[in-house]
């Protein structure tokens, strides 16, 4: 039986939800607001800061001091590259796990996911040495590889969940119709899993775009993405709040816009299979 909620209760619940949402969004909002102030005004008390004049001074300075477009392009190449590479590896892997599972498939999936629970810093030194020896330090290729490896467990897991929802009989029908494995994946499985693959792609792009540990450790300038661009404005001395805020706003704006337009797809993707 459906529960009836009184209007008063609905108003209260809505108010609580909006308050929580505002609290979560507040740091981003404050960063955006600070980015439109001068360095002097940015460190004033909150009310005084809000009342101070608005300016594009910090944006102008950030533009002069750094090459935003180079960092932006690095972020685009690294996040899209690692996502596409992860998909190329994960689609056949998830296919095998979903449609021809072995006795240990679940264990392998859990093990893959468990690697995400390990603190990244634990493997920093071996990773750094490998990157140094292979000449991958400060290269886009190196970051594409490392971000692919980091996000692969989540990509495989998400695709596995989607593929499990596709009736096996349809793939069997394709086999009976003369399709080999390649045709089965290209003509039948992938088009049917497009919503799932799109959600996985979006989420992985966002994760890769925001990844800050490896991108900061393994790059300095040539392959430095936007995370390095933000970090370059953090300084132990001097005034940097406004410039840091401007840089952060410029770095998060593209992904925030992407997330906003794709939120429906993302939510559907993350809750897929939760309710049949």
CB of 175 to other proteins, least distance (A): 5
Q: Which residue has the tokens 């925001």?
A: 210
Q: Is 49 in the site for other proteins (CB under 8 A)?
A: no
Q: Does 172 bind other proteins (CB under 8 A)?
A: yes
By beta-carbon proximity to other proteins, the closer residue of 119 and 167 is 167
In the bound complex, what is the minimum distance in angstroms from residue 178's beta carbon to other proteins? 4
174 sits near other proteins (criterion: CB under 8 A): yes
Q: What angle (nearest 5°) sits at the alpha carbon of residue 95, between those of residues 91 and 99? A: 170
* Residue 178 found at the interface with other proteins (CB under 8 A): yes
Q: How far is the CB of 171 from other proteins (least distance, A)?
A: 9
Q: Is residue 169 a contact point for other proteins (CB under 8 A)?
A: yes
Q: Smallest distance from the beta carbon of 201 to other proteins, in angstroms?
A: 18
Structural contact between residues 10 and 17, judged by C-beta atoms closer than 8 angstroms: no
Instruction: Tell whether residue 276 is a contact of other proteins (CB under 8 A).
Output: no
Neighbour tally for 229: CB within 10 Å: 22
Within 13 A of 169's CA, how many CA atoms are on the CB side? 0
Asked whether 31 and 255 are in contact (CB, 8 A), the reply is: no
Q: Which of 223, 233, 257 is nearest to 72 (CA)?
A: 223
Q: Does 165 bind other proteins (CB under 8 A)?
A: no
**Is the dihedral angle over the CA atoms 82, 85, 87, 91 positive or is it negative?**
negative
Cβ 180 to other proteins shortest distance, Å: 6
Q: Are 262 and 62 in contact (CB under 8 A)?
A: no
96 makes contact with other proteins (CB under 8 A): no
| Residue 187 binds other proteins, judged by CB under 8 A | yes
Return the residue of 173, 212, 222, 257 that touches other proteins, per CB under 8 A.
173
Rg of the Cα trace of the chain? 23
Q: Which of 31, 105, 141, 183 binds other proteins (CB under 8 A)?
A: 183
Is 188 an interacting residue with respect to other proteins (CB under 8 A)? yes
Closest CA to 240 of 63, 88, 74, 34: 34
Does 177 participate in binding other proteins (rule CB under 8 A)?
yes
- 192 binding other proteins? (CB under 8 A): yes
Q: Which of 46, 119, 122, 167 binds other proteins (CB under 8 A)?
A: 167
**Nearest-CA neighbor of 97 among 171, 184, 181, 156?**
156
Phi, psi (5° rounding) for residue 239?
Answer: -95, 125
Give the residue among 224, 227, 232, 223 at the shortest CA–CA distance from 210. 227
Interacting residue with other proteins among 14, 67, 115, 180 (CB under 8 A): 180
Q: Does 170 bind other proteins (CB under 8 A)?
A: yes
> Least distance from C-beta 176 to other proteins, angstroms?
4
Q: Which residues bind other proteins (CB under 8 A)?
A: 167, 169-170, 172-180, 183, 187-188, 191-192, 194
């Amino acid at each position: 039986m459906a529960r009836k909620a009184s209007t008063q209760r609905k108003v209260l619940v809505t108010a609580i939800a909006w308050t929580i949402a505002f609290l979560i969004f507040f740091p981003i909002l404050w960063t955006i607001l600070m980015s439109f102030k001068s360095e002097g005004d940015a460190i004033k008390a909150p009310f005084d800061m809000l009342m101070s004049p608005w300016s594009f001074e910090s944006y102008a300075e950030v533009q002069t001091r750094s090459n935003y477009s180079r960092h932006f392009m690095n972020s685009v190449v690294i996040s899209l590259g690692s996502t596409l590479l992860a998909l190329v590896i994960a689609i056949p892997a998830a296919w095998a796990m979903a449609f021809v599972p072995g006795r240990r498939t679940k264990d392998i999936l859990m093990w893959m996911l468990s690697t995400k629970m390990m603190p990244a810093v634990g493997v920093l030194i071996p990773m750094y040495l490998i990157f140094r020896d292979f000449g991958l330090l400060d290269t886009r290729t190196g970051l594409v590889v490392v971000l692919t490896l980091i996000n692969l467990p989540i990509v495989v897991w998400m695709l596995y969940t989607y593929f499990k929802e596709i009736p096996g009989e349809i793939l069997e029908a394709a086999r009976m119709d003369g399709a080999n494995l390649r045709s089965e994946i290209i003509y039948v499985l992938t088009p049917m899993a497009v919503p799932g693959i799109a959600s996985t792609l979006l989420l992985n792009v966002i994760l890769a775009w925001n990844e800050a540990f490896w991108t900061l450790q393994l790059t300095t300038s040539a392959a430095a993405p936007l995370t390095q661009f933000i970090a370059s404005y953090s300084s132990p001395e001097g005034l940097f709040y406004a410039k840091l805020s401007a840089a952060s706003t410029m770095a998060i704006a593209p992904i925030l816009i992407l997330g906003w337009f794709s939120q429906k797809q993302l939510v559907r993707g993350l809750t897929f299979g939760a309710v049949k």
